[in-house]
Structure formats: structure tokens, C-alpha cells
Amino acid sequence: MSSLPQAVSRRRTFAIISHPDAGKTTLTEKLLLFGGAIQLAGAVKARGEQRRARSDWMKVERERGISVASSVMTFDYAGCTFNLLDTPGHEDFSEDTYRVLTAVDSAVMVIDAAKGIEEQTRKLFEVCRLRDVPIITFINKMDRETRDPFELMDEIEQTLALDVTPASWPIGMGREFLGCYDLWKDSLVLLSRTKGGLPDAGEPCSGIDDPMLDAQLPAHAVEKLRESVEMARALCPAFDPESYLAGHMTPVFFGSAVNNFGVRELLQGLADQAPPPRPQPTAQRAVDPCEETVSGVVFKIQANMDPKHRDRIAFVRLASGHFKRGMKLKHIRSGKQLTMHNPVMFLAQDREVAEEAFPGDIIGVPNHGNLRIGDALTEGEDLVFTGIPSFAPELLQKVRPTDPLKAKHLGRALTQLAEEGAARVFKPRIGADWIVGVVGALQFEVMADRIRTEYDVPVVFEPTSLYTARWLESDDPLALKKLLDGNAGAIADDHDGSPVFLARNAWHLDKAVDDHPKVRFLKTKG
Ligand code: G4P
């Protein structure tokens, strides 16, 4: 058993961000393979194929089914314990993805070497940037025809406004891809095209001029490598760990995940450079991971994994202390004590009962709906963790049951899904409809599917002419009442009963804001 500071310093909690098809699934599998968490290549891969074979919303449903086992993958490598948090892979905006990115300490950005920065990569990157999450870049598929490495690095720098520095340099590409020169360790790592096995560790050399390179590589390849490395060293800034940790610089590894190539160097890079768990912000104070008492925050809820049981798992990221199974934690929002009888730890494929866990680790707490996103669990101190984002619903649709007799069931389903954080749900004060607000259109399909399969209520979503929703707050109860009374047709309540203004268009919103200066119109609910 290790001491708390030791356990903290060896934790690396990270996520992979990428555009679909760049190779996230393949890389995940290879990381697990190197970490010894899976024996067989292909175990995770099957998911990628399954996913592609189905239509968009079914894909999401499928992912939900498997996502408990795979949403957190834990493995050891190079003396570190890695927690890899999966981000849902579909192309649509997803609040879940954003929340997962609030629970990591660093990220790996996978880029297809032929395509460069793609749309989803950029969006996910922007989310990381909000919290200055340090990012290591993995340029994948070097075994194919690719773009020039300098051009790719330049694109990262320009598009993402990040300093870029190579951690390895590719030798050739496509069929001529021979391997990489590891610039951090000064070693030559050659690609062996034997399928399945793990590639050899690199061969150390004294530097880029080492004659060993001439002996191992064709003359034209060595010449090109030396020239490129010289140029890269002249053009790119040297790796600066502080700048990386501040989220301003990304080191770049080149590789080919499908050939297991570059994965070892990437893992070593994460072990050596990626940050261990950092102090977590709360409204009261920053919580240091090495504090003795246990605390954690719910960043994701997974409901109804098994449609026959109404169980939910709350994913808690531990912020401090040495967690042990059976301990009692206070649920700050309700003030109740919860005994952690059977928390779940995530070891690649299986759910396992957690005996102990440390800051940066994720535990799954089965519950019946009392735990919600953003909730804190502590050994007693009243803490409110900040930094779990809430999103402005940008798309609003009406939802009704196809069978009018099921209106009550629908209400219950919507409330539960809203509590889980799957969408915002509003009940207009006038009329019988419910309004659902999301940030990505795909969420409507997912909701319809879940309400049908998990609650047995077939529903239809219909477009509305609503423009946006704003939560209403005021320090002056009379001012708020005046707005609510004077605009009854535009007022709804969310699942917690907080009042919301539903605007028909920008003018409608602006007018209400102007007319009611003492009321705050909030895009998100804190
Ligand atoms: P994703 O999770 O980011 O969506 O990507 P995934 O890993 O599923 O990979 C997308 C496709 O790219 C897969 O091909 C995968 O085999 C391929 N791929 C991943 N890494 C590499 C690489 O380093 N080099 C090459 N050449 N291809 C790579 P697919 O045709 O969709 O599936 P498959 O039939 O090849 O398995």
C-alpha cells in the first residue's frame, strides 16, 4: 500500500480528444495493451466497428450500454496508474463529453496525419482550453500517405493558437514509414511490421549525429531525418514543461496506433510529463489532493444501465484523501450520510468492487437517483465544487406522448433525465406541453429513444418557434414577481421548479431584459 502523496503523484487521469475516425478507439486499445489491462488486441476495436455499423442514435444507445465498463479504464505503466476517461464518440455536441473533460488533469489529442485538425477536435480542444488542460498531441496513421509534419505542426499552432514542439520525429511516411527518432530520449525506434506484438523499445543513441543511425537506416532517410530535426530545432520552441502544464504548449508524438507504433513513447511521455491530480476548486477553498479527509464530486450520471432495474451509477472523481470501501460520506446537498458499500472501480472490461481509491481515481456509486451532477461527497465538510459546467440549451423542442394518457409518466421520465443531466426540461406555466432544451440535435433522438425504452412512453418531439431559455434570478422578489406575472405565456419551470423565461426571438428577450433591470437572465443554472 502506498502513502497518500505517493499515490497522488503516480496518478494520471486523462481523456483522448479526437475527430471520429482519427483512431481514438485503436489508440485506447493499444494503451490498454501496453498497460497490461487487456491481453488481446481487438477487444476495444470491436466497439469502433459496431459503432460505425449503426445509425447515429442507435450508435449512441449502444455506447450507453457498454459505456459503464469502458467509461473509465484503469491501467498501470511505468510506475504510474492511469485513468483513461472515455468521451462519447459521436459527432454531435454532448454535454456529457464536456463534463468528462472537467474531470481529467490532461488530454491526448489524436490527429489523423492526412487530415490535420478536424471540426470535432477543435471543439473539444476549446473545452480543454477553458480550463487550460495540458495536451499531448499524437499524430496518427503515419503508415499512410500523410501531410508534411511541419505543415501539420504549423496547422496546430495556427488553428489552436498553441506553441508546438516535436517530441519525436517521423522517418518517412506511408509505405516508407520506418519509425521515429525519439527527441526526448535520443533513441531510434523502428517500426516492425509484425502484426500484434508489441514493438521493441527504442535503441538509445548519443544524438542525431550518432553513426548508429547510418548503420540502421538507408542513407537518404538519415539525411532527411537529420535535416528535418535540425530545422525543427531551429523553428520550434524547445519543450517547456511549465508552458505545457499551463496549457500553452503541446508536445507532438508521431505514430501509427494500428501498428502499435509510438504508443510506448506516448505513454512514457504521459508518465514523465502529464500532471498528477491538482487541487480542485470549490466555492469555499481549493481542495488539495493530499488532504487526509476524503472528498469527491459527481461529474457524470449513468442511469438505467439495465432497463429492468432503476439503478444509476454516479461517477465520482475523488478530489482528496484515501478512500476505502465501506466508509461513510456526507452527501452535501441533502445532508445525508451515505455508506459506500459497493462502489465500482473500472478495470478495462469489468466492473469491480473498489476496495480503495485515491485522488484522481473515479469510483462509481450505485444509487437510486439521489446523487446528481455537481454533488459533493465529503467526510463532513460542506464543500461545493465549482467548475462542472452547465450548458445553455440552444435548441428547444416540444415533447408529447403519443398516448395522451401517459402524460404523467412522461413528466416523471423527463424529470429523471433532467436530474441525470441528459437535457434541460421546462414545464410552461400555460399549456400541457413539456419543452426540452439541448445543446446538440442528436440529444433529442437519444432522449426519445430512452423515454421509449426505459420508461415505456413513446413520444414525439416537435419543433417550436422558441429562440432560447434564460433562468431568472433577482434579489428583489417583487421585481421577479412582476416579470412572472406580466409574462405568464413565456414562463416555465425547470425540473427543480426554478423559473425560466422562454424567448420567442432575440427582440423578445432583449425587451424583457430592458423592461426588468432588476432581474438576471442567466444562460445556465449554477
Ligand atoms: P475512432 O475511434 O477515432 O473513430 O477511430 P478508430 O480507432 O475506430 O479508427 C478508425 C479507422 O482508422 C479504423 O479503420 C482503424 O483501423 C484505422 N486506423 C487507426 N489507426 C491507424 C493507423 O495508425 N494507421 C492506419 N492505416 N489506420 C489506422 P477502419 O477501416 O474503419 O476499421 P478496420 O477495418 O481497419 O479495423
Tell whether ligand 1 has an atom less than 6 A from the beta carbon of residue 28.
Answer: no
Can you give the pLDDT at residue 49? 46
486, 494 Cβ separation under 8 angstroms: no
Can you give the pLDDT at residue 226? 96
Cell of 366: 450505485
CATH class belonging to 280-378: alpha beta
112, 255 Cβ separation under 8 angstroms: no
Q: Tell how far CA 467 is from the center of its chain.
A: 28
State pTM to two decimals: 0.84
Can you give the pLDDT at residue 52? 42
Tell whether ligand 1 has an atom less than 6 A from the beta carbon of residue 282.
Answer: no
Which residues, 6+ apart, have CB-to-CB distance to 62 below 8 Å?
Answer: 50, 51, 54
CA of 218 to the centre of ligand 1 (A): 29
> Quick one: which atom of ligand 1 is closest to the CA of 256?
23
349, 359 Cβ separation under 8 angstroms: no
> For residue 138, which of 231, 270, 271 has the smallest C-alpha distance?
270
How does pLDDT run along the chain (526 residues), one tens digit per residue?
A: 569 999 999 999 999 999 989 999 899 989 988 887 665 544 454 444 444 433 344 454 455 444 444 578 888 999 999 999 988 655 555 677 888 898 999 999 999 999 999 988 998 898 899 889 999 999 999 999 999 999 999 999 999 999 999 999 999 999 999 999 999 989 998 887 555 566 677 888 889 999 999 999 999 999 999 999 999 999 999 999 999 999 999 999 999 999 989 999 999 999 999 999 999 999 999 999 999 999 999 998 887 555 555 678 899 999 999 999 999 999 999 999 999 988 887 764 455 667 899 999 999 998 887 888 889 999 999 999 987 767 778 899 999 999 999 999 999 999 988 887 778 999 999 988 899 998 878 788 888 988 998 889 999 999 999 999 999 999 999 999 999 999 999 999 998 899 999 999 999 999 999 999 999 999 887 5
CA of 68 to the centre of ligand 1 (A): 23
Domain boundaries, the chain: 17-65+108-273, 280-378, 395-522
Q: How far apart are CA 4 and CA 340, in angstroms?
A: 20
Cell of 109: 489529442
Q: How far apart are CA 378 and CA 365, in angstroms?
A: 14
377, 329 Cβ separation under 8 angstroms: yes
Tell whether ligand 1 has an atom less than 6 A from the beta carbon of residue 146.
Answer: no
Tell whether ligand 1 has an atom less than 6 A from the beta carbon of residue 103.
Answer: no
Which CATH superfamily is 17-65+108-273 part of? P-loop containing nucleotide triphosphate hydrolases (3.40.50.300)
| Backbone dihedral angles phi then psi of residue 219, each to the nearest 5 degrees | -55, -45
CA of 140 to the centre of ligand 1 (A): 10
CA of 45 to the centre of ligand 1 (A): 9
Give the closest residue (by CA) to ligand 1 atom 11: 21
DSSP labels, 75-131: EEETTEEEEEEP---SSS--HHHHHHHHS-SEEEEEEETTTBS-HHHHHHHHHHHHT
Which residues, 6+ apart, have CB-to-CB distance to 144 below 8 Å?
Answer: 113, 114, 173, 174
> For residue 376, which of 470, 296, 496, 463 has the smallest C-alpha distance?
296
Strand, coil or helix: what is 231? helix
Point out the annotated binding site for GTP. Answer: 18-25, 86-90, 140-143
- Residue among 17, 19, 21, 121 to mutate when testing ligand 1 (max atoms within 8 A of CB): 21
CA of 8 to the centre of ligand 1 (A): 34
- Residue among 19, 24, 25, 26 to mutate when testing ligand 1 (max atoms within 8 A of CB): 26
Tell whether ligand 1 has an atom less than 6 A from the beta carbon of residue 257.
Answer: yes
> Quick one: which atom of ligand 1 is closest to the CA of 48?
8
Which residues, 6+ apart, have CB-to-CB distance to 499 below 8 Å?
Answer: 471, 472, 480, 484, 491, 492, 493
> Quick one: which atom of ligand 1 is closest to the CA of 26?
7
Predicted ipTM?
A: 0.97
Strand, coil or helix: what is 326? coil
Residue 102 exposure: Cα atoms within 13 Å on the Cβ side: 21
What is the per-residue burial (b if ≥16 Cβ within 10 Å, else e) of 124-134?
Answer: bbebbeeeebb
Q: How far apart are CA 254 and CA 261, in angstroms?
A: 9
Cell of 97: 463529453
Tell whether ligand 1 has an atom less than 6 A from the beta carbon of residue 47.
Answer: no
Helix axes 149-160, 219-235, angle to 10 degrees: 20
> For residue 377, which of 305, 323, 452, 455 has the smallest C-alpha distance?
323
- Torsion, Cα 93 95 97 101, to 10 degrees, reads 130
| Total Cβ atoms within 10 A of residue 158 | 11
Point out the annotated binding site. Answer: 18-25, 86-90, 140-143
Tell whether ligand 1 has an atom less than 6 A from the beta carbon of residue 260.
Answer: no
Looking at residue 316, its amino acid is: V
> Quick one: which atom of ligand 1 is closest to the CA of 18?
3
264, 27 Cβ separation under 8 angstroms: no
Give the closest residue (by CA) to ligand 1 atom 24: 141
Give the closest residue (by CA) to ligand 1 atom 8: 48
Q: How far apart are CA 323 and CA 397, in angstroms?
A: 43
Give the closest residue (by CA) to ligand 1 atom 32: 49
Domain 280-378 shares a fold with domain 395-522? no
Give the closest residue (by CA) to ligand 1 atom 10: 21
Tell whether ligand 1 has an atom less than 6 A from the beta carbon of residue 258.
Answer: yes
Tell whether ligand 1 has an atom less than 6 A from the beta carbon of residue 17.
Answer: no
Residue identified by cell 442507435 is 58
210, 226 Cβ separation under 8 angstroms: no
CATH class belonging to 395-522: alpha beta
Query: What letter does residue 175 receive in the DSSP assignment?
Result: G
Write a three-state SS string for 472-518. EEECCHHHHHHHHHHCHHHEEEECCCCEEEEECCHHHHHHHHHHCCC
